[in-house]
Amino acid sequence: MRIERRVRQCALAFICLLASIELVAHDSEGSWDLSRPDSHAPIGVMGDHSHRTGEWMLSYRFMTMSMDGNRDQKQRITQEDVLVTYPVAPKSMTMQMHMLGAMYAPTDRVTFMAMVPFIDQDMDHETRTGIEFNTATSGIGDVSVSALVNTWDQKRHHVHLNLGLQAPTGSINERGDIPVRADAPLPYPMQVGSGSWSALFGGTYLGQSDHWSWGSQAMFTRRLDENDAQYKLGNQTQFSSWLSRLVSPRWSVAGRLKFNDTDSIRGADARLNVNMVPTADPSLRSGTLWSGSLSVNFKTRSGNRWALEIESPISQDLDGPQLETDLVVTAGWQYAF
């Protein structure tokens, strides 16, 4: 069932891509123009573009994700529903991330990219006896290093491979005060790292015409080893396709469709009590999420790029009870030299 669903979703993403190419292919003459505001994907996409020999780029992104209310499969469920089975129910969560990035291209063929995230998150809960409490964690997340390898360039079409490694630099030992216990180990979503080495791999296609640009990216995250707490976060599959319209030489606007699938956790953190709260259950961390976004890219005269993307879920199917995603906003700055 799961494989069938995944194939269907891949097919749909591919059709969206072909439709967008068809729409604009007739005026695709000349070569790829890296200077246009729409030559960069919507700011929520990482590793979307490569650089020319000797070029550096620095970037900063601020992302905030809000989650409010629980879901089981596609259905929304109430706090009371969750509290029938568990003594504690999560109510809402806010995750904020500051992401520093650097890119450098030693040759036209390869661009290296490093990403350093700082995470700040908090979750509100309610107990069966009506007590409300909050837990919060923050710190450096898992740092990644990638190589973007250009594999195909023809006229205004470009393809590169994304090959990366993510290091377990983020903490999996975050603790906090909960009503029954002070300084208790916190459940999986409150940890700031995965604790595992991960392989990041995928590919990106970009196309451009006089007034439009478009692209598609497939990215896979595979957890390579079990962490020190004897679990492995779920593997992730992500597809994303976007279409941008150049409004002026400085501005572009874009729409993007994204699909994300997360597998459940393998193994379990023995410090957690599975029966206490759904977030401590390793089998309740998986699900699929389709979302759509609108974004704007702006490039100043001096070459600074500013961008904003607002992303909202279209449908989510979660192995729950699990908090649903409500809104993701990403703002960013990029500068190449």
Whichever of 103 and 272 has its CB closer to Cu ion, that residue is 103
If the CB atoms of residues 12 and 34 are measured against Cu ion, the closer one turns out to be 34
CA 103, CA 110: separation in Å to the nearest integer?
Answer: 10
Minimal distance in Å, beta carbon 336 to Cu ion? 6
Helix (H), strand (E), coil (C) string for the chain:
CHHHHHHHHHHHHHHHHHHHHHHHHHHCCCCCCCCCHHHCCCCCCCCCCCCCCCCEEEEEEEEEEEEEEEEEECEEECHHHHHHHCCEEEEEEEEEEEEEEEEECCCCCEEEEEEEEEEEEEEEEEECCCCEEEEEEEEECCCEEEEEEEEEEECCEEEEEEEEEECCCCCCCCEEEECCEEEEECCHHHCCCCCCCEEEEEEEEEEECCCEEEEEEEEEEEECCCCCCCEECCCEEEEEEEEEEECCCCEEEEEEEEEEEECCCEECCCCCCCCCCHHHCHHHCCEEEEEEEEEEEEECCCCCEEEEEEEEEEEEEEEEEEEEEEEEEEEEEEEEC
What string marks each residue from 82 to 121 as x (binds Cu ion by CB under 5 A) or -? ---------------------x------------------
Shorter beta-carbon distance to Cu ion: residue 43 or 178: 43
Considering only residues 127 to 146 of the shown chain, the ones binding Cu ion according to CB under 5 A are none
Q: Least CB distance from residue 55 to Cu ion, whole Å?
A: 8
Q: CB-wise, 103 or 284, nearer to Cu ion?
A: 103
Q: Could you tell me the smallest distance in angstroms from the CB atom of residue 107 to Cu ion?
A: 15
For Cu ion, which is the closer residue by CB, 101 or 282? 101
Size of the site for Cu ion (CB under 5 A): 2
Smallest gap from Cβ 97 to Cu ion, in A, equals 19
The verdict on 43 binding Cu ion (CB under 5 A) reads no
Per CB under 5 A, contacts with Cu ion among 49-68 are: 57
CB of 57 to Cu ion, least distance (A): 3
Considering the complex, what minimum distance in angstroms separates the CB of residue 307 from Cu ion?
A: 12
Which lies closer to Cu ion via its Cβ, residue 190 or residue 200?
Answer: 200
Closest CB 100 distance from Cu ion, rounded Å: 13
Residue closer to Cu ion, measured from CB, 103 or 233 = 103
Catalog residues that contact Cu ion under the rule CB under 5 A.
57, 103
